[in-house]
Amino acid sequence: MDFDDHTQNTVPAYGNDDGVITKKKVTIDNNNDIKFINVENEDEPSNKRGTFITNLEITGWPWRIAGCVFLIGVLFHVISFGTPDWMITLNANGDDVMHVGIWTSCVLISTCEFRSETTVCLNATRTFGGIGVVCCLVVVLLLICYIYNYNLPRRRCINVAVVTNCFVAALATQIATATFWRSGACNYNDATGYVTTRWAWSIALSFTSVLLLVAAGLAFLVIELIAISRETARGGQPWKGRGCHIT
């Protein structure tokens, strides 16, 4: 026969002597003899934390700073990739007339039209910019996997993929930005007749994102190399690519 009884825990041997409510499970046989008593403290606050938060805390502040730099770079790239403020045309008074971007051109920032040109320049800019966005998203997923596997050897392989994709994203973004810039917004023909132009904040944001992605990739690489060096100095075996074979 089993029954549950909520009572004050007064048994110091169980580690609670401060009057916390506990649950006792008592098993009694047919002769009314107590055969087993199990005391469980169900109301004790749990000190266990999620694996993600715990591992994130032990990665160290340099790694977290590198992660923040990367996320800022991603944000800059995504914003610049979708906004029409790469190049601005001006009238004789210096007022803005046309805002030109990778995807749209806007007259007086009120009427925007999709750029339907099918030039190699524009297609290349969009393609390489898109590759940069995709690589950034891949890095975000890899960073999550890295944190979850921080205490496992496979984290080395994940870090290699993180660094590689950071550099690929930076390279693709640089190609897209430089192509658009050197070609004069992909030889955009200003229908308004104004030829005075200046580069705007979107292209500056794109160039900045390249620097941030490269910086983040180098930081992730250096931090991991330092960790490998310290583990080897403590008597561990050299890495030699361990962890890249995920089972």
Residue with tokens 């606050």: 45
Total domains present in the chain: 2
* Pair (72, 191) in one structural domain: yes
**In the numeric block, which tokens belong to residue 169?**
């994203």
Q: Please, what is the end-to-end C-alpha distance for the chain in angstroms?
A: 47
* Pair (32, 86) in one structural domain: no
* Pair (24, 138) in one structural domain: no
- Residue pLDDT, tens place only, 8-46: 443 444 444 444 444 555 555 566 665 545 444 444 444
* Pair (66, 147) in one structural domain: yes
> In this structure, is residue 95 part of a structural domain?
yes
Other beta carbons within 10 angstroms of residue 70's beta carbon come to 24
* Pair (17, 73) in one structural domain: no
* Pair (208, 153) in one structural domain: yes
* Pair (73, 34) in one structural domain: no
Check which CATH number belongs to the domain holding 74 and give it.
1.20.140.150
Rounded-to-integer distance, Cα 62 and Cα 82, Å: 31
Domain range enclosing 28? 2-40
- Residue pLDDT, tens place only, 84-121: 888 888 777 777 778 888 988 887 666 888 888 778 88
> In this structure, is residue 246 part of a structural domain?
no
> In this structure, is residue 45 part of a structural domain?
no
- Using only C-alpha atoms, the chain has a radius of gyration, in whole angstroms, of 30
pTM, rounded to two decimals: 0.71
